[in-house]
Amino acid sequence: MGDRRAEAVQVLVAGLGHVFRDPGLLELALTHSSVGEGAERDARGRPFADNQRLEFLGDRVLGLLVADRLMLDFPNADEGEMSSRLHALVDKSTCARVAEALNVGAALRLSPGEAKQGGRRREGVLGDAMEAILAAAWFDGGIDAARVVFETAWAAELSAPPKRSPANPKSALQEWALGQGKSLPTYAILRRTGSDHAPTFTVEASVAGYPPLTAQGRSRQDAEKAAAIGLLQREGVI
């Protein structure tokens, strides 16, 4: 398995478009938290570090790179449209789809138990690893290296036709939920950051029986609309 994984890592590096000066950063990005929970230890007997901290940074790096690209590609788009496009590109399912295209799963370092349970194909595992890879590139070569990885890995997503957004996404989500026999969607403010004159709201939209989805906006209303659009897109409604 070790030789096959090493080959998979080499193929991944070629697909990313960035050769790491510090291969250890990529190795860390590919190490799932389950490794530390098992019997595997490093040379000093300590549990292996995992990619959770890199994933935390990579989520922010991805948001920055997507926002920067959208500013260039859509100079006349309003904030609502930009938020919708941004969410579609940073959504965990999109990150997982990008990782699948690069065959990240074969390069992951997982515990035997996680591997047996299908961790190499799990959306959350793949999405987190892809974000961690972006952060690893950031540490290895700065924003330019991270941008190369992003532009290469997200090329298909960036070139895909934008999905149609409904004029009233909250009403569209409500109609869809009722059509599924579910109760009305709910929205919860998770946090409010920024100054009083330029706040950012993070809102979670929920429909019973489906995973919740979070989105951000400059007002509560904008955040709720972005979350509704994201949930409709994730479920293939739009």
* Same domain (yes/no): 175, 153: no
Residue written as tokens 């926002």?
Answer: 67
pLDDT at 33: 86
* Claim: this prediction has a pTM higher than 0.75: no
Domain residue limits at 223: 169-234
Do both 108 and 209 map to the same domain?
Answer: no
Domain end residue (candidates: 134, 159, 184): 159
Residue 59: active-site member: yes
Yes or no: say if 94 and 157 are a contact pair by the CB < 8 Å rule. Answer: yes
**Residue that terminates a domain, selected from 159, 191, 222:** 159
Q: What is the pLDDT along the chain (238 residues), one digit of tens a residue?
A: 568 889 999 999 999 999 999 999 999 999 998 886 544 454 555 555 889 899 999 999 999 999 999 999 999 988 877 887 887 888 877 898 999 999 999 999 988 888 888 889 888 889 899 999 999 999 999 999 999 999 999 999 998 876 556 778 899 999 999 999 999 999 999 988 877 776 888 899 999 999 999 888 878 988 898 889 889 988 888 7
Collapsing DSSP to helix, strand or coil, 118 comes out as coil
Quick check: is 164 in a domain? no
Locus of tokens 């989805």: 213
Query: Is 84 in the same domain as 107?
Result: yes
Q: What is the structure's pLDDT at 38? A: 46
- Check 91, 114, 128, 131 and give the catalytic one: 131
Coil, strand, or helix at residue 78?
A: coil
Catalytic residue among 50, 55, 59, 222: 59
Question: Based on the number of CB atoms within 10 Å of its own CB, is 230 exposed (0-12), middle (13-18) or buried (19 or more)?
Answer: buried
Structure confidence at residue 1 (pLDDT): 54
Closest CA to 152 of 18, 8, 34, 53: 18
pLDDT at residue number 130: 96
CB-based contact 171:238 (threshold 8 Å): no
122 and 145 share one domain:
yes
